[in-house]
Structure formats: C-alpha cells, structure tokens
Structure 1
Amino acid sequence: MRIWTAIVVLTSSWLVSGLVASQPINAKVAIAADKTASSRSISQASNTKKTIAIDKAEFGVARVDARGKVNFIPTFRVPLQEGSKYGWRIQLKDYQGEVTWREVLRLPKPPETWATDDGENFSVSADGTESVMRRKTTANDGVIQNYWTIAAGDPPGKHKIQVYIDDRLIATFDFEVFPMDRKESSGRNRSL
C-alpha cells in the first residue's frame, strides 16, 4: 500500500470512513512579521513580482459526506485508519493566480512505501522519514491545500508538515497520527 497525496477538489467523489472525535487544532503557524511572503509568480500583465499575504493556515482531516461534499475538520489528531485523509489549507489574502509552494513532511519512522499521485517534484530523504514535494498551483478563491491518505504500513506517532512559498516558511503543523482501538473501527464503513 502507498501514501497517496491529492489536492482536494470539490467535485471529487471520495468516500472516507467516519472519524473519531477530534480535538481543536494546535498548530504553530509561522508567518512573517508583516504577514507577507514573496512569490516568484510573475504577473503577465504588469511583469512585476506579486506579494502574498497569509490570511489563515489550518491543519486537519478531510471527510466527504454521502453527497460528495468535502468537509474540512480542524484537528491535530489523525486516526491511523486506511483511507483517512489529512492535510493543510492556507487562505491567501486578496490573492488569485498561480503560487509555487513546497511541503516538507517528517514522519517518526519510515512508512512501508511512499507515493504521490503524479510522482513529479517529489523526493524522499535517505533514511525514508522525510518527503519534499514541490507544486505550482492556481489559488482558487485564494486557497492552496494538500492532503495525504493513510495507507497500510504508515507509522503512528508525531508528524510535522512545513509549508513554504518559494523559500519562505509560512506554516508549521505538528500533529499526531494515532492507532485506533479495534473496537472503535470495527463498526465503521471502511470503503473509499
């Protein structure tokens, strides 16, 4: 099994099993004092560098209801259950257009395998505990986001995600992936 990363699109048809009760997010958000990060995205009309201000940064789990609507639930605890999706979303202030971002994901120990949807701009450290992903995304409604899916062989424990726009750290999320009690997960629908 592999860890798959996906950018959530409202038209997706994920079906994620139920989640255990979540606690409020306790993430550290690293935002520059002036709340701006420069982007190398160049405005074609004016050929000038755009400035990006961060309005809000959140970490949590994504759950899709029966109608296919994606619900983002802020939390710092992720159940170690195949198919559970976790990730971040960052609201950019008054920004539309293309953004180049980089995500560094650190795990407490290597998973059985690493994988992404497209494999491009993705690397894993020599010890297998850290991945680096680079993406260029259009910020629809000023939002950039990324999600991972729990797969067999993923480790429980403390995890960390750092998000950069170009080379500037804009958010750090410390969270825990916890094993579920067999009794908790036995009655849940596990289909995707």
Structure 2
Amino acid sequence: MRIWTAIVVLTSSWLVSGLVASQPINATVAISDEKIASSGSISQANNTKKSVAIDKAEFGIARVDARGKVNFIPTFRVPLQEGSKYGWRIQLKDYQGEVTWREVLRLPKPPETWATDDGENFTVSADGTESVMRRKTIANDGVIENYWTIAAGDPPGKHKIQVYVDERLIATFDFDVFPVDRQQSTGRNRSL
C-alpha cells in the first residue's frame, strides 16, 4: 500500500508541476486478490491517454474437467508434469473491446523447445531463457488471459511472467515450477 501511496503522491506532484517523466514508474507488486490500479497508458493509435485499471489479477494452473470446462486454481506452485497448464488471467476494470498485451516469460534455464499455438508475434532471447509474446484480443467482460502447457524438457525452478497492456507493466507473477515424485503422481504406494 505504501508503494501505491508514493506513486499517487509522485504522480500528483508531476501533474501539478507540469513535469513529464520520460519513463513510467513500474512498481513490482505481489499479485493477490486485492484490487490493483495502474496508471493511464498512451494509446498507440491516436496518442491519447487511456486509463487502464486492474480489477483482479491471478496466476495459477488450469484443469479441464470431463465436460471440457476449464477450472482455474490460483497458486504460485506449478507441478512439472507434461500436459499441466499454467498461466494468468487479468480482469480489466470497466474495459470492453480490443486490448493489445505483451507477455514476457523468463525461465531459470532454456527448455528443450519453445512453441506456441500460432507462432506469430513470438520471439525467444538469444540465450533461450526468455520469450516475448504479443497479442491483440477482444477483452470479453474485460478479461485477458494466457496459458502455457508443460512439455518434456521444460526446466524446474523460479519463473517470472510480466504482463503489459499498451506497453505499460500491469502485473508481475513470480512462480515456482517443481518436480513431482513419479510414484506420487501415479498414485502408487511408496512403501514396499
């Protein structure tokens, strides 16, 4: 809360004094169920200010039930099991229409392969540890989201996702991908 108070005070003083910052101040905040608001962003199309407020930002795993319904389970721990899905969803406050977002995913070391559904607007860093994905989507009910699927050769460890809307950082998710004991994951009893 202190960070947001400082940002509000600084922003107010800039507006009063007429000082324009060349770089936005982006505070890394642990995302929780609390409501978070970001400062306005500049629309690339017409260079006018547009306010983007976050109603809710969550990170977790997605499980698909027998009927095909996706159940989102908030967590910052992702099991390293092929086929497991993890990702984020962000509820934009009072926002409808097209949204341009960018996601930066950082891994502790390169995976064996990188892949996306369509491959468009997707790049990987030279060292193979970071991907950048850009998308334009319609925010149905103000929701934007993205999910990844664990594949063979994905690394365990600390991961980070940063989400930007119109080039403004709106959420940061730090999470851990942890190895799963094969005996526990298959339901077998470990004792002989």
TM-score (norm 1): 0.76
The CA distance in 1 between the partners of 2:173 and 2:76, in whole Å, is 8
- 1:139-178 paired onto structure 2 within 5 Å: 139-178=139-178
Q: Please say if 1:66 is aligned against 2:61.
A: no
Structure that is richer in strand per residue? 1
Match of 1:40 among 40, 43, 49: 43
The CA distance in 2 between the partners of 1:130 and 1:37, in whole Å, is 27
Helix, strand or coil: the match of 2:117? coil
Could you tell me the percent identity over the aligned residues? 83
- 1:75-114 paired onto structure 2 within 5 Å: 75-114=75-114
Does the Cα contact within 8 Å between 1:41 and 1:99 map onto a contact in 2?
Answer: no
The CA distance in 2 between the partners of 1:29 and 1:84, in whole Å, is 22
1:66 Cα deviation from its structure 2 partner:
1.0
Q: Give the gaps of 5 or more residues in structure 1.
A: 1-26
1:105 Cα deviation from its structure 2 partner:
0.2
Aligned to 2:180: 180
**Which digits, 9 at most, give the CA deviation of each residue in 1:129-154, with x for residues without a partner?**
00000000100011000000000000
Does the Cα contact within 8 Å between 1:109 and 1:155 map onto a contact in 2?
Answer: yes
Q: How many residues align?
A: 157
Larger radius of gyration: 2
Does the Cα contact within 8 Å between 1:37 and 1:170 map onto a contact in 2?
Answer: no
Aligned to 1:53: 53
The CA distance in 2 between the partners of 1:50 and 1:36, in whole Å, is 9
Shift in alpha-carbon separation, 1:34–1:60, aligned structure 2, 3 A = closer
**Which digits, 9 at most, give the CA deviation of each residue in 1:73-122, with x for residues without a partner?**
00000000000000000000011100000000000000000011111110
TM-score (norm 2): 0.76
Does the Cα contact within 8 Å between 2:37 and 2:55 map onto a contact in 1?
Answer: no
1:37 Cα deviation from its structure 2 partner:
3.7
The code of the aligned residue for 1:104 comes to V
Does the Cα contact within 8 Å between 1:41 and 1:50 map onto a contact in 2?
Answer: no
Q: Give the gaps of 5 or more residues in structure 2.
A: 1-28
**Which digits, 9 at most, give the CA deviation of each residue in 1:34-69, with x for residues without a partner?**
5344262769xxx96542211111000000111111
Does the Cα contact within 8 Å between 1:106 and 1:131 map onto a contact in 2?
Answer: yes
Q: Please say if 1:136 is aligned against 2:139.
A: no
CA RMSD of aligned residues (A): 2.3
The code of the aligned residue for 1:35 comes to S
* RCO comparison, higher one (Cα < 8 Å, 6+): 1
The code of the aligned residue for 2:30 comes to K
The code of the aligned residue for 1:29 comes to I
